[in-house]
Amino acid sequence: MHKFFDKLNEDIIKIREEVFIKEQEFNNEFDEIDENSLLILYYYNENPVATARLYEDLENKNEYFIGRVAVLKDYRKYGIGKEIIEILEEKVIKLGGNKIKLSAQKEVERFYKKCGFRRIGDIYYDEWCPHIKMVKDL
């Protein structure tokens, strides 16, 4: 089960803090993009276990970004990340979008390729972590 929100809530904050700040040691987890994003909260057995955000590319009509995809460690390998991506793809199509872009940590490139994304550009660093840009046409 999942729900959409137009602002951060306690469960979304807890999941992102656990995954990005505690587990991966990022410093700058929350930003102004959250204020203009559609946020998804995914539940497993009624427990909030994953989240992501979706926002419009203001420079390119009908294109959207997915970001901050986070699944709590104990719930990985259940297909939750893939399901979140599929839900967000459906949402983008309903909104009239035809392309999704994202910035992925290099270590999860394979996951996004399995979801149909392709790599564009070179590796770059966000804080200390190597990232790549990826895109999927819908």
Please tell me whether the overall predicted TM-score, pTM, comes out greater than 0.75 for this model: yes
CA–CA gap between residue 100 and residue 7 (Å, rounded): 21
Main-chain dihedrals φ then ψ at residue 102, nearest 5 degrees: -155, 160
Class of domain 2-98: alpha beta
Dump strand ranges (E) for the chain.
2-5, 38-44, 47-56, 63-71, 99-105, 118-126, 129-137
Q: Give, for all 138 residues of the chain, the pLDDT tens digit.
A: 999 999 999 999 999 999 999 999 998 889 999 999 999 999 999 999 999 999 999 999 999 999 999 999 999 999 999 999 999 999 999 999 999 999 999 999 999 999 999 999 999 999 899 999 999 999
pLDDT tens for 110-128 read 999 999 999 999 999 998 9
- Give the pLDDT confidence score for residue 40 in this predicted structure: 99
